[in-house]
Amino acid sequence: MTCLRRKITPGPPRCTTVSYVSIAVCPGSFDPITLGHLDVIERAAALFDRVFVGIARNSSKTPLFDLPQRVALATDAVAHLPNVEVVEVPGLLVDFCTSVGASAIVKGIRGASDFDAETPMALMNHHLTGVETIFLHARPEVAHIASSLVKDVMRFGGEVADMVTEPVYAAMQQAMAEKNLYIRDTSRKDEQ
């Protein structure tokens, strides 16, 4: 709450109470949501009163999970954060930001290549509606985690359980088995 004082007429100043709720959007395809994503979302939740995790379709990617599955997995992953809501972004991100009253977009960046890729989008979003983009650097312990890498490692039989939540890991195992995406048999342990 902020107390604004303004003089309208001579006499004692009046005090008007104005409340301001800071709202941010953490956008992405989240296919699947990883612990790297979750780290950024948790940090955004500490910075803003309300955070929307905006899950969008990415026409340049073939998803492992359909949009309702991604929304459900992300909703489960952020259930411990009372000020975070997971929603589908049906069109332009800036239109969604305007519709929910968001003043900021929060993006996690792992390195220079992420920054280079995200900067033009941030500038365009600002040009279109004035929304600001805040870049949060990935913490070192999760900076190597990317959804595409997690899927590739799992596809080739590598272990990724420590990079995603347990429900996401189980859903990945099921989706990869159903879609026959494993490159080698992961139902057996390698002999040592």
Q: Known catalytic residues?
A: 37, 61, 110, 147
Residue 177 β-bridge partners? none
Gap between the Cα atoms of 53 and 85, Å rounded: 6
Nearest Cα neighbor of 32 from 61, 60, 12 is 61
Strands 2-6 and 14-18, how do they pair? Answer: antiparallel
- Structure tokens that stand for 174 in this block: 């099921």
To which residue do tokens 């930001």 refer? 97
Instruction: Report angle CA 62, 52, 130 to the nearest 5 degrees.
Output: 95
DSSP result, 76-105:
HHTTT-TTEEEEE--S-HHHHHHHHT--EE
Q: Check residue 165 and report its DSSP letter.
A: -
Computed from CA positions of residues 101, 41, 33, 125, in that sequence, does the dihedral angle turn out positive or negative? positive
Q: Are 24 and 7 in contact (CB under 8 A)?
A: no
